[in-house]
A and B are shown apart, each in its own frame.
Chain A
Amino acid sequence: MNYLHSIGTYFLMIAEMFRKPTKWSVMKKLILKDIDDLIIGSLGIVAFIAFFVGGVVTIQTALNIDNPLIPKYLVGFATRQSILLEFAPTFLSIVMAGKVGSFITSSIGTMRVTEQIDALEVMGINSINYLVFPKFIALMLYPFLICIGMFLGILGGLVACLYGGFSAPEDYITGIQLDFDPFHITYAFIKTGVFAFLLATIPSYHGYYMTGGALEVGKASTTSFVWTSVFIILLNYLLTQMLLS
C-alpha cells in the first residue's frame, strides 16, 4: 500500500509541477541557476569519467581480442558501440543519479526541514513548480552533457591506442566509422531524455516529501539514489527492448 501511495504522490507532484506557474522573471533566474548547478557543474566529472572509461573499454577490448582472424579495427567498433549505446547514456546517468540526484534531494530536503518550503506555501507560491520545474527544464540540457561524454569516451579510447599501443590509431579510427547506424544516436538520446526526466523528478520527490531532521536528509539522499538507479536500469531494459529488438 505504501508503494502505491508513493507512486500516486509522485505522479501528483509531476502534475502539480506544471500548474500555477511562478512569475517568468523569477523562473528564468532559477532555471539559469539550476543549469549552472546541475549541467555546467557536472561537466568536469562527466568529462573525467567518460575519458578514462573510454580508454579502459578500448584496452579491455584490445586485450581480449587476441585471435589473428579478428580484424584490429574491431577495437574501435566495439568501443564506439559500447560508449554510444550503453556507457554514455546509462552508466553516466547512474553516476549523475549520485551526483545531481543527491544534490537535488539534499537541497530540497534541507528546505523542507528548515521550513523554507512552508514559507513558500504560506506566501501562496506553488512550491513544487518553484523548486522542481527549473530542475526539470535544466535537465533538458542533459543530452548535451551525454554528447560530450560520448565524444570524450571515444577520444579516451583513441588516446589509449596512441599511448598504450593496444591498437593502431588508424585501425581504431576505421573501427569507429564502421557500420555506423544513425538510429543508435537517436536511441541513445531517447534514453537520455527519459533518464533526465527521472533524474529531475525522483530526487525532487524524495526531497520534497521527506519528514524529520538533518539525519533524514542524508537518508533521503541515499534512498533517492537507489530508486533513481533502479528506475534507470529498469527503463533502460524496457527502452532497449522496445527500440532495438
Chain B
Amino acid sequence: MIEVKDLHKSFGDSEILKGITTSFEQGKTNLIIGQSGSGKTVFLKCLLGLFDYEGGSISYNGKIFSRLSEDEKRNIRAEIGMVFQGSALFDSMTIEENVMFPLRMFTKLNKNDMRERADLALKRVNLDTAHNKMPSEASGGMQKRVAIARAIVNRPKYLFCDEPNSGLDPKTSIVIDNLIKEITEEYKITTVINSHDMNSVMEIGEKIVFLKDGLKAWEGSNKTIFRTDNEVVTDFVYSSNLFKKVRKMYLEENS
C-alpha cells in the first residue's frame, strides 16, 4: 500500500502539487486521471522518487520514503516496476536482454535461471517468439508488453505505468489494460496508472484519483464515477458525446 499525505511540489515559483492526500491499495489497479497540466506526471515522478518534494510524505507499506537511508531507498526501488509512456526499452539490448536487465542488476541468478525467468515474463505478456528482436524492430504494442515484462520480471511489489495506452490502437489498448489488471491481481501488486484514456478508466479503474490544478478534485472508482455529480469530473470524463450517452444509459439501467 502506498500512502500520500499533503504532498507539495513546486518548480521555482510555480506550485504544481498543492497538497495531495490519497492512498493506493495493494492488489488493485489505481488510476490517476486529469487534464494535461493537472500535475499527474509530476505526482507520479514524486511517487517514484524521481522528483524531490517540498512538503508532505509518501510511505510504502508504512515506511516514509524521505526518511529512509540511501540503502533502504534502493531496496524499495528494487521492488518497483515501471512502464514508461514511451516504453523506455534499452535500445542497445535485445528484447530478452531488456527483460533480463533487472535480474542482472539485482539478483545473483545464473544466466540460465535469468533466461528462464525472462522467458516466463515474456510468455506472461504473450510474447514468446520475440526474444532476439531489437526494440526498434517491435511494434508499439509489443514494446509496451516488453516494458511490462521487464517491470514484472523481478516480481515487484509496486507497478507504476505512465500512460500505458498512449499511441496504441483501441484493441491493443484493451489488451494492455487487461494484462495490467490480471498481473495486478495475480501478483497482488500495488499498481498505479497515470492515464488519459477513458476506456481504461471505465474498464480497470478500481480506484480513481482525479487531479485538477495540482489538487485532488475527486476520488472514487469506475463504479462511482457514473453517479458522481462533481462537475469538474463529469466535464472531463464525459466530454465526448459517446461517454455522455454511455453514462445516461448506465444511469437509466441502474435507476
Contacts and interface: CB of A to CB of B under 8 A. Distances in A.
Interface of A: 20, 22-23, 25-26, 33, 110, 114-116, 118-119, 121-125
Contacts of A116: 88-91
A123 B84 contact: no
A126 B70 CA distance: 11
B160 to A, nearest CB: 8
A172 to B, nearest CB: 46
B78 A124 contact: yes
Interface residues of B, number: 25
Contacts of B201: none
A124 B73 contact: yes
A124 B90 contact: no
Contacts of B160: 122
A115 to B, nearest CB: 4
B176 to A, nearest CB: 17
Interface string B36-80: 000000000000111000000000000000000010011111101
Contact of A119 (B49, B82, B104): B82
Contacts of B82: 119, 122-123
Given A115-B86, A123-B80, 10 more contacts: A26-B105, A114-B91, A115-B85, A122-B48, A122-B50, A122-B82, A122-B160, A123-B102, A124-B77, A124-B106
A122 B80 contact: yes
Interface of B: 48-50, 70, 73-78, 80, 82, 84-86, 88-92, 102, 104-106, 160
A110 B76 CA distance: 27
15 contacts: A20-B70, A20-B74, A23-B105, A114-B88, A115-B85, A116-B88, A116-B91, A118-B88, A122-B48, A122-B160, A123-B82, A124-B73, A124-B74, A124-B77, A125-B105
A123 B75 CA distance: 9
A121 B50 contact: yes
A209 to B, nearest CB: 15
Contacts of A23: 104-105
Chain B interface secondary structure, helix, strand, loop or mixed? mixed
A108 to B, nearest CB: 12
Contacts of A119: 82, 84, 88, 90
Contacts of B84: 115, 118-119
A23 B109 CA distance: 13
Contacts of B104: 23, 25-26
Contacts of A121: 49-50
Contacts of A22: 105
A41 to B, nearest CB: 14
A123 B107 CA distance: 13
A124 B78 CA distance: 6
Contacts of B89: 116
A224 to B, nearest CB: 20
Given A23-B105, A26-B104, A114-B91, A122 B77 contact: yes
Contacts of A33: 92
Nearest to B89: A116
Nearest to A116: B88
B78 A123 contact: yes
A123 B102 CA distance: 8
Contacts of B80: 122-124
A118 B45 CA distance: 9
Nearest to A126: B74
Contacts of A20: 70, 74
Contacts of B76: 124
A26 B114 CA distance: 14
Contacts of A124: 73-78, 80, 106
